[in-house]
């Protein structure tokens, strides 16, 4: 915004009394007894508070408290007309604050430490405003701090708040430009809004058409993705339970045709875990030099095709609907897959990405594989969970008796595994016995029959974690049931492994988008037989079938309502107004992500190609549009030139204002006589002062003489006085 020429005598420093009384005193009375400089400074402080407010959500409490205290201190100085604090006081406080930033973050570099220092720098600069130049330093520093809020969030609420803060900040900057009377705050806000609206079309055109590059214009600091969450490549008791308490969105899915599969089929496969040390499950490492297995996959039917919008997770693993096909194409990422059909990126996913994928719900995986090549899925650690191993022997013996098979107590004993202190349970091929499905049903029947509970807050486990879960607490989350199930199946000689990912998702009936959150994180199991290959088994469904059929919330006890029971019931009802409002916001937020945040070079190229094809047959009309716009602009300028004298227009508007109050001007009445008669109008002193100044200045311009520059400045003053005369 271009600044108007400075006044003959510069204004006093912010927070100090004005240089001249008169009209300035009238404006002070209009501004609740504040001088112009005080009111302008308080407006700048309000804008600074709006700029800093989004950062209070992630800054340490002591920095937020210090920033707020500094703003209050500066507001008190302005309100009471006190002097600024001396430099000898500000310098030690600033140095102590910078030292506090270093102690908190252990560095002065990076996103978090850098933003914290900028916030403190802005607040301390407010205590050092002594000249007009300092006002602009604070204003432009506020612009920069406002921009840094997008390093933490780029959501719609953040964008709307940024627009509001920008409007107030530009209004504060505009207020310091006036040389005469200052319009009311409402008019200044409207002026700023009009200026922003005039700039919006150009900004939109640049956003849509300006060539975009892959990735951001600058490299984000290394800690920019430090707060992102996602599935890890290990699983210990409580790891998924902690993740499931997060309501953050993991990814969104739109299926081709719009209809998603039933909820019990929505298993989003991510990481396969097979190495168990007695407490933690990890991926089975592939030894160097070994060739990858030829994984036999047989599918039936047509694949499901879908598009995924993956949120940043700072992990490398994808979660794809079972059974995934080949690795999809991710712009800017190289994908790999494993023998277990895991798919991952070579670099962490720190940005939102979109890709398309396909899945086969009906499949057979590694059927007919040689059992000796699957021995790694039988290994169990030595010296852990003796009660669980004894239970496995009992369950196998009971299953053998039920099928009239020979007891296989000896074959259920652990035998040494190849290579180093770990044991492998006996293979079913060693002796006839019950099938893997029968043994699986025996374990699931125990989960259903005993008093097992599904909870997000299981007790802490000790050395024998599975023993304590199965026999003592009998309370756990999905990782407890999946882990215990796999240990029991391996102890009974069945190849088994843990799979982690997500299960389910929330369907939005408005845009048919499936939203999968971190709270949908889940763990299940797979068992292998030579005839059927790997088969999915979800032990959690035996204890909490609502978790698979609906969602996590329906499987857990409802928390205390505290008087909000009817509101919670509305939220659970998909047809309620509250659910529809939530779905509408989710659909709007998804559109924001698709068309604003994910407007990458590929989407821009596709959109411009579609736009070019759509207007290919309308070239004549497109060529006529600039001509019509030029003619309209020329007509508008000619009309402006023919318009009445601006001084007469301002005087006519003033007279119309007073006529509405019963003080119409007589045709033969001059401005001086009209001013004498208006003194009898019942109005505030501020309005009388504005009317007197308006008529006096009008008389000087109408009947006096002045240069071109002074006439323009006087017309601007009359235009500013006109709203005060209402």
Beta strands in 412-455 (DSSP E): 415-416, 422-424, 453-454
Annotated catalytic residue, options 40, 112, 478, 480: 478
- Run of H or E residues at 169: helix 156-175
Q: What is the DSSP letter of 324?
A: B
Answer whether 457's CB lies under 8 Å from 410's CB. Answer: no
Annotated catalytic residue, options 333, 464, 522, 725: 522
Cα 468 from chain centroid?
A: 40
Report how far residue 520's alpha carbon sits from residue 311's, in angstroms, rounded to the nearest whole number.
14
Is 522 assigned a catalytic role? yes
Which residues partner with 516 through β-bridges? 251
Name which of 532, 516, 521 is nearest 499 in CA terms: 521
Place of tokens 């007469």: 648
DSSP string, 24-76: HHHHHHHTTT--HHHHHHHHHHHHHHHHHGGGGGTS-HHHHHHHHHHHHHHHH
Is 511 assigned a catalytic role? no
Name which of 525, 490, 479 is nearest 392 in CA terms: 490
- Run of H or E residues at 572: helix 565-572
Q: What is the dihedral of CA 13, 16, 20, 23, to 10 degrees?
A: 100
Query: How many CA atoms lie within 13 Å of 134's alpha carbon, on the beta-carbon side?
Result: 16
- Which two tokens mark 16? 């100090």
Residue length of the chain: 726
Is 450 assigned a catalytic role? no
Place of tokens 């807050």: 457
Answer whether 411's CB lies under 8 Å from 426's CB. Answer: yes
Answer whether 272's CB lies under 8 Å from 497's CB. Answer: yes
SS3 307: strand
Report how far residue 372's alpha carbon sits from residue 173's, in angstroms, rounded to the nearest whole number.
77
Q: Residues with catalytic annotation?
A: 478, 522, 538
């Amino acid at each position: 915004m271009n600044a108007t020429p400075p006044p003959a005598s510069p204004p006093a420093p912010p927070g100090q009394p004005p240089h001249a009384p008169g009209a300035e005193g009238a404006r002070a009375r209009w501004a609740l007894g504040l001088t112009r400089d005080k009111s302008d400074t308080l407006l700048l402080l309000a804008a600074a508070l709006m700029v800093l407010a989004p950062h209070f959500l992630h800054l340490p409490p002591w920095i937020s408290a210090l920033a707020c205290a500094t703003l209050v201190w500066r507001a008190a100085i302005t309100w009471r007309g006190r002097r600024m604090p001396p430099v000898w006081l500000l310098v030690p406080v600033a140095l102590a604050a910078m030292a506090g930033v270093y102690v908190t973050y252990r560095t002065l570099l990076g996103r978090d430490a850098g933003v914290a220092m900028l916030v403190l720098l802005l607040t301390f600069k407010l205590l050092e405003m002594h000249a007009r130049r300092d006002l602009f330093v604070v204003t432009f520093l506020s612009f920069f701090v406002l921009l840094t809020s997008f390093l933490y969030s780029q959501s719609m609420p953040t964008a709307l708040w940024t627009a509001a803060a920008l409007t107030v900040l530009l209004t504060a900057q505009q207020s310091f430009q006036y040389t005469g009377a200052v319009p009311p705050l409402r008019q200044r806000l409207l002026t700023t809004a009009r200026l922003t609206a005039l700039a919006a079309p150009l900004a939109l055109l640049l956003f849509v058409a300006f060539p975009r590059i892959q990735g951001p214009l600058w490299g984000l600091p290394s800690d920019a993705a430090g707060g992102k969450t996602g599935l890890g490549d290990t699983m210990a008791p409580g790891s998924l339970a902690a993740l499931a308490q997060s309501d953050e969105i993991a990814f969104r899915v739109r299926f081709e045709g719009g209809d998603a599969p039933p909820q019990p089929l929505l298993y989003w496969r991510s990481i396969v875990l097979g190495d168990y040390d007695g407490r933690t499950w990890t991926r089975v490492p592939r030894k160097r030099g070994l060739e990858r297995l030829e994984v036999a996959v047989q599918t039936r039917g047509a694949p499901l095709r879908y598009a995924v919008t993956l949120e940043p997770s700072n992990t490398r693993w994808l979660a794809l609907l079972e059974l995934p096909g080949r690795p999809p194409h991710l712009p800017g990422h190289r994908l790999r897959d494993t023998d277990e059909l895991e798919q991952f990126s070579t670099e962490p996913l720190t940005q939102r990405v979109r890709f398309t994928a396909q899945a086969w719900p009906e499949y057979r995986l590694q059927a007919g594989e040689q059992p000796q090549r699957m021995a790694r899925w039988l290994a169990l650690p030595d010296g852990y969970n003796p009660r669980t191993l004894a239970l496995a022997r009992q369950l196998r013996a009971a299953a053998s008796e039920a099928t009239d098979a020979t007891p296989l107590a000896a074959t259920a004993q652990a035998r040494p595994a190849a290579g180093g202190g770990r044991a492998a349970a006996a293979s079913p091929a060693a002796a006839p016995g019950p099938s893997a499905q029968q043994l699986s049903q025996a374990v699931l029947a125990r989960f259903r029959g005993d008093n097992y509970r599904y909870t997000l807050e299981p007790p802490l486990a000790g050395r024998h974690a599975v023993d304590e879960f199965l026999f003592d607490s009998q309370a756990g989350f999905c990782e407890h049931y999946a882990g215990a199930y796999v240990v029991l199946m391996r102890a009974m000689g069945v190849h088994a492994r843990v799979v982690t990912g997500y299960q389910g998702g929330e369907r939005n009936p408005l845009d048919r988008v499936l939203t999968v959150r971190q709270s949908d994180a889940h763990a299940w199991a797979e068992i292998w037989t030579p005839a059927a290959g790997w088969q999915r088994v979800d032990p959690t469904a035996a204890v909490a079938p609502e978790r698979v059929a609906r969602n996590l919330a329906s499987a857990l006890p409802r928390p205390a309502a505290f008087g909000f029971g009817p509101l919670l019931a509305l939220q659970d009802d998909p047809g309620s107004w509250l659910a529809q409002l939530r779905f509408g916001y989710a659909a709007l937020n998804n559109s924001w992500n698709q068309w604003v945040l994910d407007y990458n070079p590929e989407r821009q190229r596709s959109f411009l190609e579609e736009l070019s094809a759509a207007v290919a047959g309308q070239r004549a009309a497109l060529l006529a549009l600039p001509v019509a716009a030029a003619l309209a602009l020329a007509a508008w300028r000619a009309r402006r030139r023919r318009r009445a004298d601006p001084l007469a227009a301002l005087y006519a508007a003033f007279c119309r204002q007073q006529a509405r109050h019963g003080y119409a001007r007589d045709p033969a009445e001059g401005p001086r006589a009209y001013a004498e008669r208006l003194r009898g109008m019942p109005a505030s002193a501020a309005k009388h002062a504005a009317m007197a100044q308006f008529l006096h200045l009008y008389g000087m311009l109408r009947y006096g003489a002045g240069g071109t520059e002074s006439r323009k400045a006087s017309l601007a003053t009359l235009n500013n006085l006109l709203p005060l005369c209402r």
